[in-house]
Structure 1
Amino acid sequence: MKVITAAAMALASLGSVANAAAPTATTIYTGGDILTMAGTKPAYVEALAVGGGKIVYAGTLKGAPRGKSTRVVNLGGHTLLPGFIDTHGHMVYFGKNLVDADLVGTVDVAEVLARLKVQAAKTPADAWIVGFGYSAIKLREGRTPTAAELDTVAPGRPVLIVDNSGHLGAANAAAFAAAGVTAATPNPEGGVFARDSDGKSLAGPMEETALNLVRAKRPPFTGKLADDVITGGARLWASMGQTTAQDCGLGLGNDDIAIVRNAIDKNLLPIDLYVCAKDSVTDALLASAKDVADTYAPASANAMVSRQDEIFDQAGVARSSAQQLLAARPDLDKRYINRVRLGGIKFWLDGSLDTAWFTQPFTVNPPGKTGSYSGYRQIPDAVLDAAFDRFWTSNLQINMHMNGDAAADQALSAIAKAVAKYGMRDHRPVFIHATVLRPDQIAKMRQYGAIPSFLTPSIAKAGDLADKLWGAERAAHAAPAETFRRAGLPFTFSHDAPVTPSPSILEVVDAGVNRIAASGRVIGPDERVSPYDGLRAVTSFAAFQIKEEKTKGTLEVGKLADLVILESNPLKVAPTTIKSIKVVETIKEGKTVYVATGQQAAATQDSELVDNDDAHTPAPSAPLSPTARQTLGMLQAAALRP
């Protein structure tokens, strides 16, 4: 990236007068495509000026406001866009996986066990042995390893594995014992502990909420390892061009809140992190958030006064502790403190590819399922209804994981009850994945202002299997982005990493534009969107989803200088090559937080935040798996992008 002084540009700007309404810029970008993402059609400007962490000008180079110290950056033909926004991912969870056994690509049970044994040799004797990323359907045996098989990894030590969806897994006897799960433990609502042929003994495999019970008992990450979990994840997200990350489902681990609080206290994050609390830890996370706000942004400094009238509802009944916290600090869910914002609550209404909850049966049952199988719900209606009753009138968004149309029905029913009681609000409930939706459901989503966040990489990675299990009709209309576009409705794309191995936003866009499955077939050609609309799904629409459209998502004056510089313009390359475009630089509020190998940072650097492929990348506190090494290697060589 070539940086030129303002004086060197004097001849080019001779006779020009700086825009009197705009403050002097610290940096002006020009010399490449600057795609603003403002509007329904592509719009470009010749120059973009930033100062004080914000965009101060967008227009012609001649009109850009400059002073003696203004730097003019020649993009060298590269493309400048708004920084990408993660609309559904698990950055903290991903950071933990960086030090776990990599089970991605395993072909049989023997290979799963072999990789776990390697991990066991690297792991302290008092720590759990954990692996992530296998796919039972793709293993030669077509099943998940059993408890007895996992016992052979390291006798007497807890062993836990989680599949690539994050919804299925297995544990050995020691892990079950550590979690307090016995043969007498009943299946939790929305989950299953597989049993041996006697119908009583724990077989090892677990589904959904049963897995969560065991996963939550893993010993916490502390000290430097806790630092590395969040900084490793943040730096990887930044290397993918993301200036706003997300962890939606914080609380899956019993140490998640402490890890995020540690990051706030130490100011570790180079990019923003939007957090959604797992429903069961909402009150605890809100209490922590209030303590953070009181510590770093005292109410008196912001003229915030506890509204005692909101401590009780209209009937005089005391509100929940969460509602009281929000009443005491109405800004609690609206502001970032040291780059962290508590923005939502997460509910899982159903499961993954083989446990999605449908109104009609699967076309072909997944392994182990018999009879007329339609998947199953994870929570009762009453739980979701109560959440909407508590939070519909707050700024705290309810995010709901759903794959099947029966789960979407449950969500819409809960919203309808809240609207009937409190009226319409600008709540923007998020339908995470929203994989299969009926036309009548889309109409109701429009009515209630609900936004779908489509997991487009699942089409590329599991489209063939969905076509088999769900049937061609449901698979063809999975993640119906083009239907939403034609209806004039916002939609977003997400990677859900680590459910997908990489948090690559360009891979997400590519999948939504092309919908090409592993077999090479196009799954649902009528639901493909244009490259521009694919970019809207991770910029302007993404900002709208998280209620930050006033400050993020487009290159417009007054918004944050959250930027990404790409090697090529996604609108000017073959659509099937979008995922191969390299991120050259990521800029957060005017400061470079990632720059690729051989590139000079365009923005003012902060040595504590910048991740430069030519600079030192702190090593994690434990050995990394092969996938983890490759993942962190993306910070050291842009060419490693998958």
Structure 2
Amino acid sequence: MSLSPAARYWGAALGLALLLTASPAPARKKPKQDDAPPPTSGLIDNVNGLAVGADGRLAHFTGLLIDRDGRVERRLTEGEKRPDRLAYRLDAKGRTLIPSFVDAHTEVIATGIARMTLDLSDTRSLAQAQAKIAAHARDNGGRKWILGRGWDPARWDDAPLPTAADLDAVAADIPVWLESADGQMGWANSLAMRQAGITAASKAPAGGRIVMAGGKPSGLFAGTAMELIGRIVPPPAPKDRDIALDKAQPLFLAAGIGTVADMGTGIHDWQSYRRAGDRGALRLRIIGYADGIDAMATIAGPAPTPWLYDDRLRLTGVHFAIDGGLSTRTAWLKAPYADAPGEKGMARIDSTRLRNQMSRAAMDGFQIALSAHGDAAVDEALYAIAELAATYEGDRRWRIEGAELVDPADRAALAQRGALLTVRPGQLAEDGAVLLRRLGNERALLPLSGLSAGGNRLALGGWAAGGVPSPFVAIAAAMSRADATGEPFGGLPPAGEQLRFEQAFAAATRDAAFALQGEKRVGALEPGQWADFLLIDRDISIASPAEIAQTRPAEHWLGGKRVWSAQEGASSAAKESSGPPQQ
């Protein structure tokens, strides 16, 4: 019996309906754990975290959450819940974690160059210096010059200033040029002076002095007169500057310094930094202060540069030196030196020229840093700042570098002008007795507490141009005004000029970052700042100054990556890990 077309149609429809009814409904797909976005945050956990807050008080935390870009996501306190999913977690096993130090005054390339030339910083007598010079000449017979740095007559047991004859006795047949430890005086032998055309009739430029002996140049050139010899000294080749930078960076990283203010940046320095940045070899964060107006315009043009290479490089200001240093008696004083009654030092730049150049820089928005070590130089800096501040308003952050001797009458003016002071308390530990000999006990040497109490924000600088001074030693010296052995008992005079731990710690981190206009990026491990930090071997917040001076970094991290460790040594600074270890 054949079915009609209609019957066949409805039969097929009924079969399809039954088939669909019998088929199970498609199962609802459950998301898998693997389908969730991968975690991007890392955690440095179980730490004794220390940082100075905006209120000047010490902040404590136990964990540091770091985002995928290497910035601080947030600080975690004890008992606060940790994220369940992390890209990595490092158990610091209770070690102390602090922000990387900020060195507010240094010379990066010069630090590396000093490692490639003759270093006299460890000599404690003229005879020791002569022995090192003779050995260097003997071991480097193919060199056309003997170049070096680091000699300091103040450390030479009250010996008189050295002369060309002292150099001729050990190296007469090769030109010799040696800069002092503070970079404010040069020492030449007779051959170098002859090649430079120096005679008894030679005149020093403004802001300089040719030291004479018996009516003839003695071989010492101070201030701007150093250029009389310096102009004939072969400059480092670009490859030498690159090598110098590679040598300098591990020294800063090993000392716990992650950000520096490079004072006196020249165009050749800047080009070396750019080459390092281009090849991914710039580890430090370098904020440059140009070596005068010409270098400022050549490097940056009409305005400070932007931040480059993930905030590793910027030119933000310009540096002017008003005077020299106390050690070489080139600092400009109001009253004569106690150990040289006929000398007051000198100004390296006249008032009119200083103000004109400061105005040119301020007009284009560059920050100004004035090196002023003696009280007369500090006075000059204050007057110059007062004049320019009347015209150039806003957040200028005028800087004064050094300020070892400040007239008590000027302390109120410093606070009124809002001047930022970069100081070197480590000098008290190294050369305190020498400086007292230079100034006598009546003048207040580096009155840290008085300056801070007056409302001035202090930053610590190392003035490195050879070895890199330890920031821990600087903090300890600011707290004790004594050397690493605690001498003299009670600290160098005047009494009561010590800083509290929080003040000294801030001056090496948060306040130093503020001084060089980098406080939004580094210095306090606050959310949004780079995760630049140290793991160290003790809790410095409860340690004595002597114990703080002995503190050593165990690891150094920049941008959330470990760039140096005590176990691996300086070699780990030559390469950047792709990411922190997961533990």
TM-score of the two chains, using structure 1 as the length reference: 0.77
Q: What RMSD in Å do the two structures reach over aligned CA positions? A: 2.7
The equivalent position to 2:61 in structure 1, one of 22, 34, 45, is: 45
- The alpha-carbon distance between structure 1 residues 35 and 123, as it changes in their structure 2 partners (threshold 3 A), is same
1:406 maps to 2:406: no
Looking at structure 2, the residues matched to 349 and 257 of structure 1 have their Cα atoms a distance apart, in angstroms, of: 23
1:72 maps to 2:122: no
Q: Compute the displacement of 1:592 (Å).
A: 1.2
1:443 maps to 2:412: yes
Matched residue of 2:116: which SS?
A: coil
Amino acid at match of 1:75: A
Matched residue of 1:609: which SS?
A: coil
State the match for 1:363 in structure 2.
338
Residues 163-178 of structure 1 mapped to structure 2, 5 A cutoff: 163-178=180-195
Looking at structure 2, the residues matched to 572 and 526 of structure 1 have their Cα atoms a distance apart, in angstroms, of: 20
State the match for 1:229 in structure 2.
244
- The alpha-carbon distance between structure 1 residues 154 and 471, as it changes in their structure 2 partners (threshold 3 A), is closer
- The alpha-carbon distance between structure 1 residues 100 and 448, as it changes in their structure 2 partners (threshold 3 A), is same
The equivalent position to 1:563 in structure 2, one of 517, 533, 546, is: 533
State the match for 1:317 in structure 2.
none
Moved more, 463-472 or 538-547: 463-472
Amino acid at match of 2:92: L
1:468 maps to 2:437: yes
Q: Compute the displacement of 1:493 (Å).
A: 1.5
Residues 23-34 of structure 1 mapped to structure 2, 5 A cutoff: 26-34=41-49
Looking at structure 1, the residues matched to 339 and 166 of structure 2 have their Cα atoms a distance apart, in angstroms, of: 28
Amino acid at match of 2:64: L
Moved more, 489-498 or 513-522: 513-522
Matched residue of 1:498: which SS?
A: coil
Residues 2-151 of structure 1 mapped to structure 2, 5 A cutoff: 26-38=41-53, 39-51=55-67, 52-60=69-77, 63=80, 66=83, 68-123=85-140, 125-139=142-156, 142-151=159-168
Looking at structure 1, the residues matched to 442 and 77 of structure 2 have their Cα atoms a distance apart, in angstroms, of: 49
Deviation string 1:102-139 (CA, Å, 9 cap, x unpaired) is 21232433322221122223436343212322222333
State the match for 2:319 in structure 1.
346
Moved more, 159-168 or 477-486: 477-486
State the match for 1:586 in structure 2.
556
Q: Compute the displacement of 1:481 (Å).
A: 2.1
1:284 maps to 2:251: no
Q: Indicate conservation of the 8 Å contact 1:595/1:610, yes or no.
A: no
Looking at structure 1, the residues matched to 198 and 543 of structure 2 have their Cα atoms a distance apart, in angstroms, of: 53
Deviation string 1:518-557 (CA, Å, 9 cap, x unpaired) is 8524113311111221110011101110111112111211
- The alpha-carbon distance between structure 1 residues 46 and 140, as it changes in their structure 2 partners (threshold 3 A), is closer
1:536 maps to 2:502: no
Moved more, 56-65 or 524-533: 56-65
State the match for 1:336 in structure 2.
308
Q: Compute the displacement of 1:223 (Å).
A: 5.5
Q: Compute the displacement of 1:48 (Å).
A: 1.1
Residues 477-556 of structure 1 mapped to structure 2, 5 A cutoff: 477-498=444-465, 501-517=467-483, 520-521=488-489, 522-523=491-492, 524-556=494-526
Larger radius of gyration: 2
Q: Compute the displacement of 1:438 (Å).
A: 2.8
Q: How many residues align?
A: 531
State the match for 2:283 in structure 1.
270
Looking at structure 2, the residues matched to 185 and 64 of structure 1 have their Cα atoms a distance apart, in angstroms, of: 74
Unaligned runs of 5+ in 2: 1-37, 579-583
Looking at structure 2, the residues matched to 187 and 28 of structure 1 have their Cα atoms a distance apart, in angstroms, of: 60
- The alpha-carbon distance between structure 1 residues 463 and 136, as it changes in their structure 2 partners (threshold 3 A), is same
Q: Compute the displacement of 1:447 (Å).
A: 2.4
Q: Indicate conservation of the 8 Å contact 1:116/1:131, yes or no.
A: no
Q: Compute the displacement of 1:151 (Å).
A: 2.9
Matched residue of 2:431: which SS?
A: helix
- The alpha-carbon distance between structure 1 residues 140 and 553, as it changes in their structure 2 partners (threshold 3 A), is closer
Amino acid at match of 1:549: E
Q: Indicate conservation of the 8 Å contact 1:481/1:528, yes or no.
A: yes
1:259 maps to 2:272: yes
- The alpha-carbon distance between structure 1 residues 607 and 430, as it changes in their structure 2 partners (threshold 3 A), is closer
Looking at structure 2, the residues matched to 206 and 165 of structure 1 have their Cα atoms a distance apart, in angstroms, of: 13
Q: Indicate conservation of the 8 Å contact 2:186/2:222, yes or no.
A: yes
State the match for 1:13 in structure 2.
none
Q: Indicate conservation of the 8 Å contact 2:331/2:344, yes or no.
A: yes
Aligned residues with identical type, % of pairs: 27
Looking at structure 2, the residues matched to 525 and 248 of structure 1 have their Cα atoms a distance apart, in angstroms, of: 32
- The alpha-carbon distance between structure 1 residues 179 and 125, as it changes in their structure 2 partners (threshold 3 A), is farther
Matched residue of 1:260: which SS?
A: helix
Q: Compute the displacement of 1:380 (Å).
A: 0.3
Looking at structure 1, the residues matched to 502 and 97 of structure 2 have their Cα atoms a distance apart, in angstroms, of: 14
Looking at structure 1, the residues matched to 447 and 383 of structure 2 have their Cα atoms a distance apart, in angstroms, of: 21
Q: Compute the displacement of 1:469 (Å).
A: 2.5
Looking at structure 2, the residues matched to 579 and 286 of structure 1 have their Cα atoms a distance apart, in angstroms, of: 41
- The alpha-carbon distance between structure 1 residues 188 and 533, as it changes in their structure 2 partners (threshold 3 A), is same
State the match for 1:425 in structure 2.
394
Q: Indicate conservation of the 8 Å contact 1:54/1:590, yes or no.
A: yes
State the match for 2:265 in structure 1.
250
Dislocated runs of 4+, deviation >6 Å: none
Deviation string 1:287-312 (CA, Å, 9 cap, x unpaired) is 234xxxxxxxxxxxxxxxxxxxxxxx
TM-score of the two chains, using structure 2 as the length reference: 0.84
State the match for 1:211 in structure 2.
226
